[in-house]
Structure 1
Amino acid sequence: MNLALLVIDVQRALFDATPRPFEADAVVARINGLSARARAGGVPVVFIQHETPGSALEFERDGWQLAQGLDVQPGDCFVRKTTADSFLRTNLGEMLRALGVTRLAVCGYASEFCVDTTVRRAAALGYAVTLAADAHTTHDKAHASGADIRRHENATLPEITSFGPAIRAITSAELEFGGVDHVRKPWL
């Protein structure tokens, strides 16, 4: 299988505190559905956790832990990161190469930061990327709501063609983890 599912920064300090991200519970439920289908299809599930010393996201503190309700299973993979880029100064690229991964499905938090940066970096590194359009989220900002930010990312990222590999944004229900192609084609 040359596909992996990346679950970015779905952590307690980000999801369990008030105010919560846009559609927090629904996003976790969609991620759990994606993860279950990925595992059933033999696709690796990679949980990526952000850490910042001296903050609620400090390594191994309660806030750094994965969000309550997120389904984690034996055999899942884990990556620690310190920047918005899940590849920068981490073992993610090495892990994906060892697993023979060439395509990524991406979901998680924050749509305009870690999800955006990781999707762009993955495409720049040659990975075809599918963004689970309804399984990433962020907090409302002064300039835009979490819903507006997610819509913006879903519209903008697929328009980037200069990296070469395609970036697609489709709903979590459309994402397929079995067979040759991970995107359900409506005409088949």
Structure 2
Amino acid sequence: MTESLVDDPVYPDIEAVDPATPPRRSRWRDRSVNIVLPLVVMSLAAGAGYLRYLDGSDQVAQAAALSSVAAATDGAIALLSYRPDTAETTLADASDLLTGPFRDSYTSLTNEVVIPGAKERNISATATVPAAASVSATANHAVVLVFVDQAVIVGDDAPSATSSAVQVTLDKIGDRWLISGFDPK
């Protein structure tokens, strides 16, 4: 009983299929395989690359934030702490943590006012930083909010304590964060 479906009255539109002839594919299917599939693959690759870029730049910003907060903390303590007998060297060393016009103005202020005043009036200042936080950070520029507690002793008087917040602007020069701005808030 080898009946053919071609002659079958129930399925009159079916053609006979030769098992040796491969089935025909439609043009649309050929185009989708040759055009659409590579576009999908390229889109996925581009999306993955973009996400990788975002992840990398986020990691750079996080590392910059951490290192700039440490530099701002150490810098604020160095800029605001001195003793009368070592003020000249201490504050000169602190100016090595600065850059740009801020370095020039800080050096001028310390040489003309702070160091002579510390020696003449026996002034000591000790700064501590109880808290600091990154406001913004990129690979080469950062802004940090630093909370400073400073105790100042003039001669034999009792210490006077002040607390303040300072916005510290830093620029990365080489592999060091240097302070380029120091603005009380």
Q: What TM-score, normalized to structure 1? A: 0.24
RCO (CA 8 Å, sep 6+): is it higher in 1 or 2? Answer: 1
Structure of larger gyration radius: 2
Greater percentage in helix: 2
